[in-house]
Amino acid sequence: MTPAASADAPRLTVRPATQAVTLSGYTRARAALPVAAEMGGRVLAVHYDVGQAIGDKPFARIDPTFVDFQIEQVKRQLERLDVALERHVSRIGFLEKEFERIDALYRDEVAPLSRWEAAGEELAQARLELRGVAAERNALAVQQRELAERRRRHDVPAPEGWVVVARRVEPGEMVAAGAPLARVADFRTLVVPLFVTEQELAAMGERDPLPVTVAGRPGRARINWINPDFDEQTRKSAVELVLVGHDGEARGGLPVRLELTLPTRGLRVPRAAVTDRYDNPYVRLAPDGRMVPVFVTGEDGTDLIVADEGLLEIGTSLKLRPEDR
């Protein structure tokens, strides 16, 4: 082999043995929630069907007729009490002036004590009546807020942007409070649940983001969470990946593949450095040409996996087998 050819030849070295592992999973929604009725009654409208995203309208609307009647009744009572309050305030203003006039006469010993006491008592009673009406109005105001909240809960909400994945109600149905009406899921962020070994988890932690394929298309993912619990039977831990920058279909069930390279037992040597004669494979060390027998346990592309018997060290340079020179 000429010096030029030797310079162009690939460098043959001993490397740690590795194996390729493919983890597979399927996408699912980041989260899912049941949609339930807080108030019972007849369903007036259902605004979304399966597969539709929640917009600015509530998922469904329950008939609020009876609570509307109560709200109207309380409104009228508040109007009546407002009039009563104005009347009592006006009367108290008059009685205060009258008491001041009688008090002046009493001090000048013109009005008798009985008249002064009667005027004072009438003013005190008027003030008590005003407090009673004000307290009644405050109680009705609380009732009005309570009814408004009950009225609001006749609209069955769902998170905006989430997608309906199950619908269990139709307009006209009678539903009870707490009845499940639908189920919605957030597909704006897709996650992939996996069960991995400790070795696979360590390999996943070496890269961020992780290169994956989603339905055959390249994508990226990050570790969303790692369950600290451990399954003793499978010797695996639960991990959830979250897809990053996914611009494909936003739905569950998309196949996701993650390729990992894991360390394994043995050493990796180039196939071009192994001479196999009479089922006795060996390699030659580049520094001194010494022959070292190897035991082949597997193959991976252009490399062979050999047992680590302590005769070869990682990084050792090897010679090209004679027939390839």
pTM (2 d.p.): 0.72
pLDDT, mean of residues 242-267: 92
Share of the chain above pLDDT 70, in %: 96
CA-based nearest residue to 223, from 250, 242, 203 = 242
**In angstroms, rounded to a whole number, what is the distance separating the alpha carbons of residues 229 and 54?**
35
**In angstroms, rounded to a whole number, what is the distance separating the alpha carbons of residues 271 and 243?**
38
**In angstroms, rounded to a whole number, what is the distance separating the alpha carbons of residues 65 and 225?**
47
Strands 210-214 and 217-226: antiparallel
Q: Is the pLDDT of residue 3 over 60?
A: no
What are the tens digits of pLDDT across the range 85-141?
999 999 999 999 999 999 999 888 888 999 999 999 999 999 999 999 999 999 999
Question: Among 3.40.50.970, 2.60.40.10, 2.40.50.100, 2.102.10.10, what is the CATH number of 31-62+154-185?
Answer: 2.40.50.100
Structure confidence at residue 324 (pLDDT): 55
Handedness of CA 308, 313, 315, 320 (dihedral sign): negative
The CATH-assigned architecture of domain 3-27+188-324 is Beta Barrel (2.40)
Q: Is the pLDDT of residue 227 over 60?
A: yes
Report the 10 Å Cβ neighbour count for 256.
21
Question: What average pLDDT does the chain have?
Answer: 92
Structure confidence at residue 5 (pLDDT): 41
Share of the chain above pLDDT 90, in %: 73
**Band of residue 10 on the pLDDT scale cut at 50, 70, 90:** low
What is the domain partition of the chain in residue ranges?
3-27+188-324, 31-62+154-185, 65-151
Q: Is the pLDDT of residue 231 over 90?
A: no
**In angstroms, rounded to a whole number, what is the distance separating the alpha carbons of residues 288 and 13?**
14
**Band of residue 175 on the pLDDT scale cut at 50, 70, 90:** very high
pLDDT, mean of residues 154-164: 97
Structure confidence at residue 111 (pLDDT): 86
Strongest mean pLDDT among 12-21, 45-54, 203-212, 310-319: 45-54
Is the peptide bond preceding residue 16 cis, with omega within 30 degrees of 0?
no
H/E stretch holding 83: helix 65-107
Please list, in sequence order, all residues whose beta carbon lies within 8 angstroms of the beta carbon of residue 214, skipping any fewer than 6 positions away.
27, 243, 246, 248, 254, 255, 256
What are the tens digits of pLDDT across the range 47-93?
999 999 999 999 999 999 999 999 999 999 999 999 999 999 999 99
**In angstroms, rounded to a whole number, what is the distance separating the alpha carbons of residues 280 and 283?**
10
